[in-house]
Amino acid sequence: MAKILSQLFVDEQCKNSYYISKNFIDVSCIGSLITKIIGSAILVGSFSTKIPQIAVVFRNWSTLGLNSLSVLLEIIAGIILIFYCLISEFTILSYGESINILIQNMLLLYLTLIVDKRMKEIFLFTSLLVVAVSLFLANAFTKNILFVIYMYFSFPLSMIGKVI
């Protein structure tokens, strides 16, 4: 177990510093370790962000008080963020919680649309999602284009989604 944790949280330079040189106070390695531990804790904690809402919708089979447009805007903002992080080759710990929240938001949106019997919107959302992912996989977006989209649209969409 210690070996697995060591592989996850300590890079090669720090392994050499810790295990070979016995330098346990290497500031850069301690900072890196703390960052990875905090990132992992946030990643684990993000699994339960939308679960209470999903459980309430399942339990009551009602979407009262839930705005599907708000959830959709959060999904769009999340997709933009994740695409930007992927194309920028950031580590998964820096955006993994966004993936978890995106999946939960998508589940919540689909559940909302199913409960409200809005099948046309389900088809439309799924189609748009497939198109967006296909464009990303086809390298239709450069890093610069995604950066501009991320900077000018992601945060406003997320905030509008929270306000409405």
CA angle 67, 70, 72 (to 5 degrees): 110
The pLDDT assigned to 28 comes to: 82
- The structural domain count of the chain equals 2
Indicate if 60 and 36 belong to the same structural domain: no
Indicate if 75 and 36 belong to the same structural domain: no
pTM (2 d.p.): 0.82
Indicate if 144 and 110 belong to the same structural domain: yes
Q: Which residues are CB-contacts of 136 (< 8 A; sequence separation ≥ 6)?
A: 83, 86
The pLDDT assigned to 7 comes to: 65
CB 63 within 8 A of CB 112: yes
Alpha helices in the chain (DSSP H): 2-9, 12-15, 27-45, 51-60, 68-87, 92-115, 119-137, 143-149, 155-163
Domain membership of residue 104 as a residue range: 48-163
From first to last of its 164 residues, the chain has per-residue pLDDT tens of: 566 666 667 777 777 776 777 777 778 878 888 888 888 888 888 888 899 999 999 999 999 989 999 999 999 999 999 999 999 999 888 898 999 999 999 999 999 999 999 999 999 999 999 999 999 999 998 999 999 999 999 999 989 988 88
Indicate if 99 and 151 belong to the same structural domain: yes
Indicate if 52 and 88 belong to the same structural domain: yes
CA-nearest of 52, 61, 163, 46 to 111 is: 61
Indicate if 52 and 101 belong to the same structural domain: yes
